[in-house]
């Protein structure tokens, strides 16, 4: 599986939704369960987050450095879930 990177911020409700979707997808699919996700907290690791210059909102997820998903204000859980699934599919 390709490298997945997730940029997040502590306390972000959309990030919490993404982690919930990740857990549900990993529980339902053994291929996804094998995936490792590098988590970068924008507040705690600004130097690492700064390497990714093409996002504004969090969570944002990359596969091998290519942005696949960036949340947007007002995003529903269903949208988040579908986008996280796309990340796993891109990484497979």
User: How many angstroms separate the most distant Cα atoms in the chain?
Assistant: 34
Give the length of the chain: 92
By the 8 A CB rule, do 43 and 9 touch?
yes
| Residue-wise pLDDT tens digits, 69-86 | 999 999 999 999 999 999
Strand partners, 37: 4
Q: Where are the domains of the chain?
A: 4-91
**Residue 46, exposed/middle/buried by CB under 10 A (0-12, 13-18, 19+)?**
exposed
| Residue-wise pLDDT tens digits, 7-66 | 999 999 999 999 999 999 999 999 999 899 999 999 999 999 999 999 999 999 999 999
Domain 4-91 = CATH 3.40.30.10: yes
């Amino acid at each position: 599986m390709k490298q997945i990177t997730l940029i997040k911020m502590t306390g972000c409700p959309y990030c919490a939704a993404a982690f919930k979707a990740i857990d549900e997808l990993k529980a339902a699919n053994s291929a996804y369960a094998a995936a490792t996700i590098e988590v970068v907290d924008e507040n705690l690791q600004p130097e690492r987050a700064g390497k990714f210059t093409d996002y504004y909102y969090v969570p944002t997820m990359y596969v091998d450095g290519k942005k696949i998903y960036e949340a947007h204000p007002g995003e529903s859980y269903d949208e988040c879930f579908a986008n996280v699934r796309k990340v796993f599919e891109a990484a497979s």
